[in-house]
Chain A
């Protein structure tokens, strides 16, 4: 019982996401508007939110360093998109060169802002607010206010196509499910190997039923999700890109030394510095990385819209920031996970998508989204407070003696 309670507490947002999905599904079915979980729509949700997930991953690293946000991400995307569009469409430069230049531009802009933040010590809010105006302006100048399109097919196929192409739908489903099965088996094997290694070294492991439950739930989720996708066009290529980014950054934040330093400096920057950590370097890294991921998101985004417009990415910074906070990141830094931010991004995506299907008009959607953002975070804050207040009283008193 205790374990179930703590599981619920640690995964509140995942549960809220599942509940929201169910509620939308019921509403949509009742209103006879089709289904939220129909294969086509699921594929759509992925495509619509892929760049938010990418941006949220980068944003999380910034937030971890101490609640610092980056307001310039939408504008950096626009600039990267503008550069790529101009190179690829107007100047007919080789596609790979254009992609490389795009990534470089994003990284350099990120590094520039990161330098101002980490070494000149200008508050991140100011630097990125300036960046938000500046980079958008540069994008306008480069594009001369025009939109560049269309992109060559050879480029689009990387980001908008599906993994396995066939006209035979039964065969597509089989192949997709086979791939899913292979992923599941790999996942299960890795988990079992990890577990046996731990047992061999004498480390503590989760109980057998808990371990099995975990394997079954995650495998079932992968299979069900793949089943939905297989009924449409299979795995979108973008999904793989996102999966790679999420896995790499999850691993980075939770298992590596620099990842640990990010959390530590968000928790207590002074103590972290006195533990021999170069916190400036970490801050520099977080914002440079954000610039890089903006470029990646821009590549995905221009492919999806098949155009490079000066207005690209407007308002995405807020989606990314919102996703992190809905996903449980602390506004003071030091708390939050990549997985949580992904859940936050999908949550926002489901909300958008569900309301669109239900025919809620765009203005009301904004009201609902804003409300949900505050409500989700309030829920998280209150549920966490209940756990800690009881225990907290004691140290508070000793503080007085110190």
Chain B
């Protein structure tokens, strides 16, 4: 039996109100490729952040044993010194610096006050050859594609004398060829004795390279499958990933579904920067009065982009397709037009796109529809505050007064303020994008109650969520989106986690289909 390189013992990490990791154990042997799989939000990334010191020692419970020693990493530097290198899903390269400069950023060759550029670039070229990247190290990062950037990240890791390489969804934005190359590179490294931890949603890739697969679900390790001992086909992995019973975490409601209120057909959207890249590809869907329609899919499947592009073209270029509201075709070119057409989009990024954190609750509450509380453009501030109080009561937002700045509220209460803001705009159709992301279980339940109340009032709700159980628990009908396309429409009775997951996995395996268009 090979030497154990890394052992994470009983790791528990809590955020206020949420237990992100609960007694997680992970054992990695030297020279193996260890895959970590699980749903979005299961805790994979959190675990790797604990390992690499992003969450410093002391902010979690449990022990990290690396090379037989207990490690107390306080910063990323500490873990990097021991050769633990993490490559994040979002690449951390600086576009206007050259490949060489990026590779040795924070790890410069030469003296402290005089960088040896000749040696830097020579070493960079050498490392680029090791990863099979045929580029000059003087080339700027912005001039090479994402696939090559991913390789630069790996070369950068090699430059730091990597012993344990952690890759978080390395192939998420790569096409088939690049993915295959990258995986082969991992196998090559394995021969040279580098140990890797691979986080991936693409289970076929996992089966291809991994020696062991650890499944994480709801912040706990479920099982570890060993190649050659256990069966590691995709069905087996999926079962492990989603094998959880739906309990009554979702409030019941009686559905009274009426006419179609919004219908989207052949909706195609291109990426705003890379205008040849299709983000949504001939999407068709509709929603009815009093109905909750769930849109499921992995991160990056184009759900948010779809919603934003419908909402007054606030995302994407070259948008085509028809949008019908109450049977009539409408053109919504600005957000204002969308709001006036009684559409609302509640963003997934409440801090970045949703709220003005430095402003009080009442100002946030009315921003989307100030004409409701103003005459001739003059705001009736007293009425504004009164209205904000009403919504505070209605949604049970916990805050001392509505004069409180939003930044001082907890995530769940911020989410309620955001919902209140859009309910105040009097929409008929509400698109809720990840409405429960990062909030605790109690607040989630309250948000679900609000959703039920909205549809009981006859509104239509489109629920976008990465949590399958949430989609299954709340929706009347479910669409599955993947790589910018709607790949399935399921009534909730016929849907379960296995069905949805296997829809996605099947699409994933048709590699080439979706990628070619990128």
Contacts and interface: CB of A to CB of B under 8 A. Distances in A.
Interface of A: 198, 201-204, 255-258, 260, 263-264, 267-268, 270-278, 334-335, 388, 391-392, 394-395, 397-402
Contacts of A401: 15-16, 18, 20, 411, 438
Nearest to B379: A255
Interface of B: 15-18, 20, 55, 311-312, 314, 334-336, 338-339, 345, 347, 351-359, 363, 367-368, 370-371, 374, 377-379, 381-383, 385-386, 405, 407-411, 414, 421, 437-439
A246 B355 CA distance: 30
Contacts of B410: 394-395, 398
B363 A264 contact: yes
Given A203-B386, A256-B377, A395-B410, 6 more contacts: A264-B363, A268-B355, A274-B353, A392-B407, A397-B16, A401-B18
A257 B370 contact: yes
Given A274-B345, A276-B335, A278-B334, A398 B15 contact: yes
A275 B16 contact: no
Identify which of A203, A258, A268 gathers the most chain B CB atoms within 10 Å of its CB: A268
Nearest to B373: A257
Contact of B377 (A203, A258, A263, A277): A258
A257 B408 contact: no
Given A203-B385, A278-B334, A398-B438, A264 B312 contact: no
Contact of A274 (B15, B347, B405, B411): B347
A401 B353 CA distance: 17
B412 to A, nearest CB: 9
For the complex of A and B, the 7 pairs showing the least CB-CB separation, nearest first, are A402-B438, A267-B356, A203-B382, A276-B336, A401-B15, A398-B411, A276-B335
A198 B18 CA distance: 43
Given A270-B352, A275-B335, A395-B409, A263 B359 contact: yes
A16 B127 CA distance: 61
A255 B15 CA distance: 40
A198 B339 CA distance: 31
A257 B379 contact: yes
Contacts of A270: 352-353
Nearest to B345: A274
A264 B336 CA distance: 16
A271 B379 contact: no
Contacts of A273: 314, 335
Q: Which of B16, B17, B336 has the most CB of A within 10 A?
A: B16
A264 B367 contact: yes
Contact of A271 (B356, B371, B385): B356
A334 B356 contact: yes
B54 to A, nearest CB: 9
B353 to A, nearest CB: 5
20 contacts: A203-B382, A255-B378, A255-B381, A257-B370, A258-B377, A264-B356, A268-B357, A271-B352, A271-B356, A271-B367, A273-B314, A275-B335, A275-B339, A276-B368, A277-B335, A397-B16, A398-B439, A399-B351, A402-B411, A402-B438
A164 B411 CA distance: 61
Nearest to A256: B377
Contact of B314 (A201, A274, A334, A397): A274
Contact of B379 (A256, A272, A334, A395): A256
Given A394-B408, A402-B437, A272 B385 contact: no
Task: Find the residue from B357, B358, B368, B405 having the highest chain A CB count within 10 A.
Answer: B358
B386 A395 contact: no
A271 B377 contact: no
